Amino acid sequence: MEMDKNKNRPVYLNLFQIRLPVGGVMSILHRITGAVLVLLLPFAIYMLQRSLQDPERFADIVVQLGTPIGRSILLAVVWVFAQHFFSGVRHLLQDVGIGLEITAARRGAWLTFIGSGLVVVVAGACL
Amino acid sequence: MRRIRSTGSAHAGLMEWLLQRTSSLYMGGFVIFTVFHFLVSPKPDYAAWSGWFTDGVVRLAWALFILSVLVHAWIGLRSIYMDYLHPLWLRFSVSLLTAFGLLALGLWSAEILLMIKP
């Protein structure tokens, strides 16, 4: 009954004007990166299969990943994985009661961005 | 309240919650181990890569990893679908496609791992 009265309440859902706190940005990124990783699965399994078939196909993959486009895609995938990995670690830590307090939670969210950025830099230097 | 709706069992979803956490722990450990394994290996070439898979323990670890990925992906996508796909027919069809897709990926991976000659 109370709810019926408010049927005409204003709804403001302009996604471009809502400013999410850092934890919210990390949270939606966790979902997006997770979904992207699932979409990448068929390609990953295909590459696993090719890489194990024979030395020529293995060498072909190495060459493909060495081209500027291949390298960019590889580093983008590394970032997607690292971001999902670190925000997942933050989830697990919060499950056991670590980093629940607001400032710690915000710091944790920033740390996931720094962590994934560092992984991309290190991967870019090593690969 | 005009209609009383069942809120379900108090522990519904607990299994999914737990599977999401345990699979993430296994995957995290596996990925860290694999990265370090190839960081310390002298030459990450075809011989080293394919030779690694001749070890039965490694193939078993990979099988468990892929199973964890599929379970984790299923529960994660399920949460996304429950939040954003509201019409029942849509959520049902997309879930069905997802289930068959993940199952196919699992069988494909099993084929790859079983084709390796030890």
What value of ipTM does the predicted structure carry? 0.90
Cβ neighbors of B110 (< 8 A, separation 6 or more) are B63
One DSSP character per residue, B27-94 reads HHHHHHHHHHHHHHSS--SHHHHHHHTTSHHHHHHHHHHHHHHHHHHHHHHHHHHHHH--SHHHHHHH
Residues of chain B predicted below pLDDT 70: 1-5
The reported pLDDT for the residue numbered A1 is 46
The reported pLDDT for the residue numbered B103 is 98
Global pTM?
0.89
Q: Which residues of A touch B31 (CB under 8 A)?
A: 85
Mean per-residue pLDDT, A113-121: 97
CB atoms A88 and B50 under 8 Å: no
Please tell me the distance in Å from A45's CA to the nearest CA on chain B: 7
Instruction: Kindly state whether A115 is in contact with chain B, defined as any CB-CB distance less than 8 angstroms.
Output: no
DSSP H helices in A1-127: 2-5, 22-53, 55-66, 68-95, 102-126
Tokens linked to A70: 């291949």
Nearest alpha-carbon partner for B74 in B96, B102, B105, B94: B102
Residues of chain A numbered 50-69 and touching chain B (CB < 8 Å): 51-52, 54-55, 58-59
Please report which confidence band the pLDDT of residue A120 belongs to, taking 50, 70 and 90 as the band edges.
very high
The reported pLDDT for the residue numbered A5 is 61
